[in-house]
Structure 1
Amino acid sequence: MVDVATSIVIRRPRHAVAGYAMDPLNAPAWYRNISSVRRLEEGSFGVGARTAFEARFLGRDLSYTYEVKELVPGQLLVMATSQGPFPMRTSYRFEALDAASTRVHLRNAGQPSGFGKLLAPLMAPMMRRANTADLRALKHILEAG
Structure 2
Amino acid sequence: MGIDVTVERVIPLPCEQVAEYAMDWRHDAEWTQGIRTAELTREADTGGFGVGAEVTRTAYFLGKRIDYVLRVAAYEPPELLDMVSVAGPMPMHVTYTFEHLQDGGTRARIRVRGDASGLYRLAGPVMGRRVRSSLIKDLRDLERQVSRRRGG
- TM bin (shorter chain): over 0.9
Letter in 1 for 2:68: Y
Provide the identity percentage. Answer: 36
Within the candidate set 112, 118, 136, 2:140 is matched to: 136
Letter in 1 for 2:88: G
Report the 3-state secondary structure (helix = DSSP H, G, I; strand = E; otherwise coil) of the residue aligned with 1:126. helix
Q: In the TM superposition, what is the alpha-carbon distance from 1:141 to its structure 2 partner?
A: 1.2
Letter in 1 for 2:89: P
Letter in 1 for 2:50: G
Structure 1 runs, 4 residues or longer, greater than 4 Å off: none
Q: How does 1:88-107 map to 2 (within 5 A)?
A: 88-98=92-102, 100-107=104-111
Aligned length: 145
Within the candidate set 118, 123, 139, 2:122 is matched to: 118
Aligned to 1:59: 63
Within the candidate set 47, 53, 75, 2:79 is matched to: 75
Cα distance in 1 between the residues matched to 2:102 and 2:48? 29
Aligned to 1:6: 7
- What per-residue deviation string (whole Å, max 9, x for no partner) do you get for residues 50-109 of structure 1? 011000001100111000011111000000104332211000000011252001010000
- What per-residue deviation string (whole Å, max 9, x for no partner) do you get for residues 17-38 of structure 1? 1111011111100013000011
Cα distance in 2 between the residues matched to 1:106 and 1:64? 18
Q: In the TM superposition, what is the alpha-carbon distance from 1:125 to its structure 2 partner?
A: 0.6
Letter in 2 for 1:51: V
Could you tell me which runs of 5 or more consecutive residues in structure 2 were left unpaired when the two chains were aligned. none
TM-score (norm 1): 0.95
**Alpha carbons 1:10, 1:103 under 8 Å: kept:** yes
TM-score (norm 2): 0.91
Give RMSD over aligned pairs: 1.2
Report the 3-state secondary structure (helix = DSSP H, G, I; strand = E; otherwise coil) of the residue aligned with 1:52. strand
Aligned to 1:38: 39
Aligned to 2:28: 27
